[in-house]
Structure 1
Amino acid sequence: MSEISIKSAQANDWKAAVPSETAPHARTWMAWPSTPAVYGGPGAYYESVQETLGRLAAAIAENEPVAMAAAAEHHAIAAELCGPDVELVDIATDDMWMRDSGPVFVRTADGAMAAVDFRFNGWGNKQAHPRDADIASNVARHVGAIRHVSPLRGEGGGIEYDGDGTLLLAESCWVNDNRNPGLSRAEIEQHLRAALGVEAVIWIPGVRGRDITDGHVDGSIRFVKPGLLIASSWPGDTSEWGRAHEEALAILAKAKDARGRKFEVVSVPSATNARSKSDDFLTSYANYYVGNGALYTPQFGDKKADALARETLGRLHPDRRIVQLDMDRIYENGGGIHCVTQQQPL
């Protein structure tokens, strides 16, 4: 594996572009939850988290290759819960949030695959991450990708891109001393433009310090395609989250993308009558994953909201089969389907 250092990553000879999630995938990467203490210790709840992740991996593997990063000692249980179609790769993990700990794949100017390593630090050192800190480099090595080591610290769930030059992100998690001390928004934007090959960068405020991610954008707003966004929030939410979401929508109403297009935003209300009553339960339908031929989205047990989300996502993605899944154990822990997956482009 060749590697581009932090210093040379900023050089003029580095040219890359990040493909859209909707572009064809070579595989989906996932990570095995290997630390019982994160989930209250060994026992039924931790096992149910593993079962839920395994069920998602098996569903995605029906349509495209899935590689599960897991230390060899966890392969037996992972094989049992994921099924025979999921490849187990001997990469040690702490937790399951591959979108954040794993690399962001890009294509260089000559078409080579590269992996951007944002040097994951446990969302600003909020969670122990001795193994997760190395997942991006280990995945890059496994697939033979060029490793682009960013001077920034951050997570893949903290950026949303359309594959056509536009990047959307929250200031709350990037312009934050727990990740990038001393760096201004302009400096962070410069590094992101270089790493991802984007031309238009749109900042929304986000919410700082209220969840482990400091307000990842993929929890509420996503690109469907260039010029078209989907947004999910609680109707009439007057909390700090709701105010930040309304401010984000106001910013997007005035913004244009890299090609000068204005944005159309389709709103999908979050579930309000979900099965789970966990305090950390993420009920946003925006945190879905677009795979080869299928889109994977949560089913929260709120019949009206689930049906509306399924219909809307099907209309917006007519070339994808909509697979709606009970993923409560993942969403109870502050993330979702998008947070535990990372696409490797074809």
Structure 2
Amino acid sequence: MAAGLAVMPEIAINAVRADDLTWAAPAEAEPHARTWMAWPSTPAIYGGSGAYYESVQETLGRLAAAIAENEPVAMVAPADQHALAAELCGAKVELVELATDDMWMRDTGPVFVRSAKGSIAAVDFGFNGWGNKQAHARDAEVAAGVAGHLGVPSHVASIRGEGGGVEYDGDGTLLLTESCWVNDNRNPGLSRAEIEEHLKSILGVETVIWVPGVRAKDITDGHIDGSLRFVKPGLVVASAWPGDTSEWGRAHAESLAILAKARDARGRGFEVISIPAATEVRSTRDDVLTSYANYYVGNGALYTPQFGDGKADALAKETLGRLHPDRRIVQLDMDRIYENGGGIHCVTQQQPL
């Protein structure tokens, strides 16, 4: 596999250069043509058909309907799920026929890049179930399916990974964790330097800042979008877990120390605003993600969770409103998503204008 990966970069890079275009991933806060989402179609992932699986679908539908109040939303789903998805998402959400396993569009779908001439292409990172941790035969085809539906070029990446594993500021800087990228379950035999060069080529970034992350403690191996997010170039939101001395807490502290010394692609230092994670939460699940950093910036609105922790929910809403004064802050009960290893950002993917 490593030998095959070593050949693929030339194909991807040459395809871009042949078009005489420079491609780059725009910031999430730039205007969207639409938001892409994916329908959870495999009951076994959620313990089988029943009330809990149904509540996951209801929660995702509620989020899709909320986003569709402000911008177009396209939900990919197999044909036999369209009637239910239409009922739960509402009439404003477009349904696109495409087979899916699960709902994590940030990871299974493409990362969109834009050329200097304004055209759009879709980057396919070859989703492999976060290192073969989950069945993904259908989800592995979602990125290509979305590109085909839109009729845009598909740039097949020379490395494996997920959209939730990259955080970019739209101005040349990329932030990511070693734990999910420099990992034999995705990129066997490749060094950090090799992976970095591939990411620079396909996402159009100039500076890559690596933070440690945590391996094998969650299904993603420590995606960056659960803890650190760009508000704009030079400004980062961090999810804080005060007093956390676990492996997660130590890795997060090291990440903040790295950012304190780092410079972005334009030579700027970083200001980091920390938002404490919720602690007095409504959910009774042991593995619920209580990070407010896993939000989604849409057209005119920002979508963020509320966990039933009144004090923490209010502080998160106030802080995000201050940092994004041009967005309405929409707080939603998304417990069924955050109980399953991800959040609002993980189930959405922006298509830039």
Pairwise same-fold verdict (TM > 0.5): yes
SS at match of 2:134: coil
Q: Distance in 2 between the 1:110 and 1:288 partners?
A: 30
Aligned to 2:13: 10
Q: What does 1:106-185 align with in structure 2 at a 5 Å threshold?
A: 106-185=113-192
The residue aligned with 2:292 is 285
**Cα distance in structure 2, aligned partners of 1:178 and 1:222:** 25
1:253 and 1:314 map into 2 onto residues whose CA distance is: 24
Question: Residue 55 of structure 1 is aligned with which of 38, 55, 62?
Answer: 62
**Counterpart in the other structure of 1:103:** 110
- Per-residue CA deviations over 1:60-115 (Å, capped at 9, x if unaligned) read 00000000000111000000000000000001100000000000000123321000
1:306 maps onto 2:306 in alignment = no
Aligned to 2:3: none
Moved more, 105-114 or 177-186: 105-114
The one-character-per-residue Cα deviations of 1:185-212 (angstroms, maximum 9, x if unpaired) are 0000000000000011000000000000
- Say how many residue pairs are matched: 342
Contact 1:234–1:272 (Cα < 8 Å) also in 2? no
1:248 maps to 255
Residue of structure 1 equivalent to 2:344? 337
Paired with 1:9 and 1:279, the residues of 2 have a C-alpha distance of 42
Give the letter aligned to residue 215 of structure 1: G
Question: Which residue pairs with 1:74 in the alignment?
Answer: 81
Code of the residue aligned with 2:100 in structure 1: it is: T
Between the aligned partners of 1:327 and 1:6, the Cα distance in structure 2 is 38
Query: 1-side partners of 2:350 and 2:115: how far apart?
Result: 16
- The root-mean-square deviation of aligned C-alpha atoms, in Å, is 0.9
Q: Distance in 2 between matches of 1:256 and 1:219?
A: 22
Of 52, 66, 71, 1:64 maps to 71
State the match for 2:303 in structure 1: 296
Distance in 2 between the 1:239 and 1:223 partners? 25
Aligned to 1:268, the other structure's residue is in SS state strand
- TM-score, normalised on structure 1? 0.98
Q: Does residue 24 of structure 1 match 2:31?
A: yes
Residue aligned with 1:151, SS:
coil
Give 1:144 deviation, angstroms.
1.3
Does residue 323 in structure 1 map to residue 351 in structure 2? no
CA distance in 2, matches of 1:150, 1:7: 10
Counterpart Cα distance in 1 of 2:84 and 2:11: 41
**Aligned residue in 2 for 1:275:** 282
SS of the aligned residue for 1:232 comes to strand
Q: Does the alignment pair 1:210 with 2:217?
A: yes
Q: Any idea what the Cα deviations from partners look like across 1:247-302, whole Å, max 9, x if unmatched?
A: 00000000011000000000000001111121220000000000000000000000
CA distance, structure 2, for counterparts of residue 26 and residue 6 of structure 1: 29
**Cα displacement (A) at 1:6:** 5.3
Task: Look up the equivalent residue of 1:90 and give its one-letter code.
Answer: E
Distance apart, 1:148 and its partner CA: 0.2
SS across alignment from 2:164: helix
Cα distance in 1 for partners of 2:284, 2:51 equals 18
One-letter amino acid matched to 1:50: Q
Residue-by-residue CA offset, 1:200-239 (whole Å, 9 max, x unaligned): 1000000000000000000010000000000002111100
Distance in 2 (CA, whole Å) between partners of 1:41 and 1:170 is 33
Matched, 1:37 2:44: yes
SS of 2:276 mapped into structure 1: coil
Q: TM-score, normalised by structure 2?
A: 0.96
Contact 2:70 / 2:301 at 8 angstroms: preserved in 1?
A: yes
- Listed as ranges, the gaps of 5+ residues in structure 2 are 1-7
Contact 2:70 2:299 in 1 (8 A): yes
Q: Percent identity?
A: 78
Q: Could you tell me which amino acid in structure 1 is paired with residue 300 of structure 2? A: G
Tell me the equivalent position of 2:193. Answer: 186
